[in-house]
């Protein structure tokens, strides 16, 4: 039997597990994609013969490095940094940098793998990558964060470049950290280039990049609702997280007439039965970003709300749910509870927030369920537009960018319909996104031969 002959899904997954021991998040992400791709390539010999899925599930390279820095008390601290360059078949590697104590090689490999499909879905020429460190920014002074970012970039700069690999922000990395890293890159290389996205407006950043992921997730939700002749007006929404993605998703839901009932952080969730308006959302943004506070303090500012320590918000009855915090934050039982309480639409702002059991529950219930690689692609899409603006050395206007973001999210929705329409009014968005993203990358890889 030739190596290229078909293997079945369980055999393929056995191989993935064997080659990636102790990397559960990566194995989970590959499994979720492989479930759909195996069906799609069943009768497509070339994808089998060229081992395309196996190649996409093997990162082009994983760079791991030591990051030493000095804290404010003069202690030497040692962290690990990584850049995972998963696939550059359709453009330079592109994907965020995450600073969080839970970061491991497995987490970054899953994120870089997902990013490959997501970036393909945007229609822009971007490959997939991801990076980060187990550095915990919580409780660190701004000076400590600056020294860490500089030390991180002192190694990372060798592996990135405007036409090679263009990182952005993610959990724990916002505009301030991008500034520190860009400053260090520029200092080392003496090169002012669009090597990072999420930059400040004065030095090459794009309007609406900050808002794009959360807004995009809601535009995607609106596209899904429209297939049922519905919109967001009067719909209740439960959101997890209280960072960049969650607060901007909340903002757009409110702008489109919906009612946001919850937000959360790693300490628990707040339930505001009156709904969050723009003033309350602004309070959360400022409290979490500038004051680096805890979400539980919301109830002191808005006493009608309640705080639920150590809990996720999925038990609050709602029509719509947007997990916008982190991976595997919505488990099978949470999905069953949401369905039992009448939830009809889920748009993932975070990456892989729903575990495999939960994904299967949503699919079986045939609700409107958008996987992150489709619904949260608005952020990287505007990052792609930031790269174009940097190459052109100009800045586009806000209304132009807003329209482009809306069009890109509608385009991704359309791609999901093309491969996910199961008939009888049910769209399998997971399948649609996986196949549409895979096909684009796979066809480019076929053109390159065995590399």
Residues that bind ligand NDP (CB under 6 A): 102, 169-172, 213, 241-246, 265-267, 324-326, 329, 349-351, 376, 379
Please, which residues bridge with residue 62 across strands?
Answer: 84
**CA torsion angle for 213, 172, 297, 262 (degrees, to 10)?**
30
Q: How many residues does the chain have?
A: 451
- Smallest gap from Cβ 214 to ligand NDP, in A, equals 8
Identify which of residues 324 and 387 has a Cβ nearer to ligand NDP in the complex. 324
Measured from the CB atom, the residue of 59 and 323 that comes closer to ligand NDP is: 323
| Cα gap 93→115, rounded to integer Å | 9
Smallest gap from Cβ 428 to ligand NDP, in A, equals 22
Q: What is the side-by-side strand order in the sheet with 345-347?
A: 306-309, 268-271, 259-265, 236-240, 320-323, 345-347, 368-370
Find the shortest distance in angstroms from Cβ 450 to ligand NDP: 32
Of 174, 129, 121, which is closest to residue 375 (Cα–Cα)? 121
Instruction: For residues 345 and 366, give the distance between their C-alpha atoms in angstroms, rounded to a whole number.
Output: 10
Question: Which is nearer to ligand NDP, 60 or 386 (by Cβ)?
Answer: 386
Distances (CA, A) of 220 to 3, 16, 227, 285, 426: 40, 32, 11, 23, 16
Residue 196 and residue 387 in contact, taking contact as beta carbons nearer than 8 Å: no
CA distance 9 to 11: 5
Phi, psi of 133 (to 5 degrees): -155, 160
Of the chain, the end-to-end C-alpha distance in Å amounts to 23
Residue with tokens 């031969």: 449
Residue 371 tokens read as: 């996987």
Q: How far is the CB of 309 from ligand NDP (least distance, A)?
A: 12
- Please say whether the beta carbons of 383 and 168 come within 8 A: yes
Q: Taking the complex as a whole, how short is the minimal distance between the CB of residue 242 and ligand NDP, in angstroms? A: 4
- Nearer to ligand NDP by Cβ, of 321 and 325: the residue is 325
Minimum distance between the CB of residue 254 and ligand NDP, rounded to whole angstroms?
Answer: 17
Q: Which residue has its beta carbon closest to ligand NDP?
A: 243
Name which of 230 and 333 has its Cβ closer to ligand NDP. Answer: 333
- Sign, CA dihedral 411-414-416-419, equals negative
Q: How far is the CB of 319 from ligand NDP (least distance, A)?
A: 22
Q: How far is the CB of 424 from ligand NDP (least distance, A)?
A: 31
Identity of the residue, 243 or 345, whose beta carbon is nearer to ligand NDP in the bound complex: 243
**Is 130 assigned a catalytic role?**
yes
Q: Which of 94, 130, 280, 373 is the catalytic position?
A: 130
Which residue, 122 or 236, has its beta carbon nearer to ligand NDP?
Answer: 122
Write out the two tokens for 34.
């492989």
Residue among 27 and 324 whose Cβ is closer to ligand NDP: 324
Supply the DSSP string of 411-446, one letter for each residue: HHHHHHHHHHB-STT-B-HHHHHHHHHHHHHHHHHH
What's the gap between Cα 218 and its chain centre? Answer: 14
Q: What are phi and psi of 298, to 5 degrees?
A: -55, -40
**Catalytic positions:** 130
């Amino acid at each position: 039997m030739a190596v290229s002959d078909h293997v079945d899904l369980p055999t393929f997954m056995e191989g993935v597990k064997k080659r990636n021991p102790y990397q559960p998040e990566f194995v989970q992400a590959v499994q979720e994609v492989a479930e759909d791709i195996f069906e799609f390539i069943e009768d497509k010999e070339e994808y089998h013969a060229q081992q395309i899925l196996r190649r996409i599930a093997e990162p082009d390279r994983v760079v791991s490095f030591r990051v030493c820095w000095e804290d404010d008390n003069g202690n030497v601290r040692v962290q690990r940094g990584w850049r995972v360059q998963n696939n550059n078949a359709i453009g330079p590697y592109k994907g965020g940098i995450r600073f969080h104590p839970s970061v491991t090689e497995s987490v970054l490999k899953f994120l870089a793998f997902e990013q490959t499909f997501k970036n393909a879905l945007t229609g822009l020429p971007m490959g997939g990558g991801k990076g980060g460190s187990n550095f915990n920014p919580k409780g660190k002074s701004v000076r400590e964060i600056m020294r860490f970012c500089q030390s991180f970039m002192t190694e990372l700069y060798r592996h990135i470049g405007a036409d090679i690999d263009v990182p952005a922000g993610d959990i724990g990395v916002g505009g301030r950290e991008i500034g520190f890293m860009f400053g260090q890159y520029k200092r080392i290389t003496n090169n002012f280039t669009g090597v990072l996205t999420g930059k400040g407006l004065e030095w090459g950043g794009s309007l609406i990049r900050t808002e794009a992921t959360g807004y995009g997730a809601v535009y995607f939700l609106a596209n899904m609702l429209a297939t049922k002749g519905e919109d967001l007006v009067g719909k209740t929404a439960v959101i997890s997280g209280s960072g960049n993605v969650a607060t901007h998703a909340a903002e757009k839901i409110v702008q489109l007439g919906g009612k946001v009932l919850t937000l959360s952080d790693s300490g628990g969730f707040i339930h505001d039965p009156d709904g969050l308006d723009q003033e309350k959302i602004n309070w959360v943004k400022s409290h979490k970003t500038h004051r680096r506070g805890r979400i539980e303090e919301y109830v002191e500012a808005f006493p009608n709300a309640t705080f639920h320590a150590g809990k996720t918000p999925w038990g609050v009855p709602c029509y719509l749910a947007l997990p916008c915090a982190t991976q595997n934050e919505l488990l099978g039982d949470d999905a069953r509870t949401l369905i039992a309480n009448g939830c009809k639409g889920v748009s993932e702002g975070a990456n892989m927030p729903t575990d495999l059991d939960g994904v299967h529950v949503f699919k079986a219930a045939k609700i409107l369920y958008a996987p992150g690689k489709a619904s949260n692609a608005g952020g990287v899409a505007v990052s792609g537009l930031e790269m174009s603006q940097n190459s052109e050395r100009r800045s586009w206007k806000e209304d132009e960018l807003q329209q482009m973001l809306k069009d890109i999210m509608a385009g991704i929705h359309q791609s999901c319909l093309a491969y996910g329409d199961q008939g009888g009014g049910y769209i399998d968005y997971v399948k649609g996104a996986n196949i549409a993203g895979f096909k684009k990358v796979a066809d480019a890889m076929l053109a390159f031969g065995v590399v």
